[in-house]
Amino acid sequence: MKKRLSHIDNTKAIGMMLIIASHIIPSEILASSVIYKTYDGILNSFYVPLFFMLSGIFEPINVDDKKMLKRVCLLIKFCAFFYFYGVITDGLIRGNWSLFAFKAQTTIWFLIVLLWITLIVGLVKRLRWRNLFFLLITMGG
């Protein structure tokens, strides 16, 4: 069993608390105040990049095809599960049972983006000039 890194676990716990704090909806009067909008904007701009950073912090430099395929398959399984869960709940709530009418605008957006990033980074790691590519991407956006 791999040794847990307490500082990483603590950072994840702080990130989870920030997510919960940002999803607590206050009264309508408070939600329209400048103070709340500033607070919410700061939280939303911080915790999402934190989780992407934590998702990639242990990414190995070399590409191992089996591990990469396993990671991508796991992400696809989670995305598919939550997509069909959304279709079922949308069907039960709204009576719309179409597979294509349901738009995944819920919490699975993070999994979908993480899947795309995993695929793109896996492909870029195979490039000869990958360090330059990562530098340009970092500088550009």
Q: How far apart are the first and last CA of the chain?
A: 37
Three-state secondary structure call for residue 26: coil
pLDDT value, residue 77? 93
Residues 51 and 69 in one domain: no
Residues 82 and 122 in one domain: yes
pLDDT value, residue 18? 85
Residues 101 and 92: their CA atoms lie apart, in Å, by 14
Final residue in a domain of this structure, among 55, 78, 99: 55
pLDDT value, residue 73? 93
pLDDT value, residue 127? 73
Residues 64 and 50 in one domain: no
pLDDT tens across 113-135, in order? 888 888 887 777 777 776 777 77
Is pLDDT above 60 for 23? yes
Residues 65 and 49 in one domain: no
**Contact, 102 vs 86, CB < 8 A?**
yes
Residues 74 and 28 in one domain: no
Residues 88 and 69 in one domain: yes
pLDDT band at residue 1 under the 50/70/90 scheme: low
Residues 68 and 27: their CA atoms lie apart, in Å, by 45
Residues 6+ apart with CB under 8 A from 40: 22
Is pLDDT above 60 for 141? no
Say if residue 19 is exposed, middle or buried (CB neighbours under 10 Å; 0-12, 13-18, 19+).
middle
Residues 82 and 102 in one domain: yes
Residues 51 and 66 in one domain: no
**Range scoring the smallest mean pLDDT among 5-14, 41-50, 52-61:** 52-61
Structural domain count of the chain: 2
Range of the domain at 32: 1-55
The verdict on pTM exceeding 0.85 is no
Residues 71 and 46 in one domain: no
pLDDT value, residue 102? 61
Residues 7 and 43 in one domain: yes
pLDDT value, residue 76? 92
Final residue in a domain of this structure, among 55, 73, 100: 55
Residues 70 and 38 in one domain: no
Residues 65 and 132 in one domain: yes
* Residue with the larger pLDDT of the pair 141 and 122: 122
Angle between helix 6-23 and 34-56 (nearest 10): 150
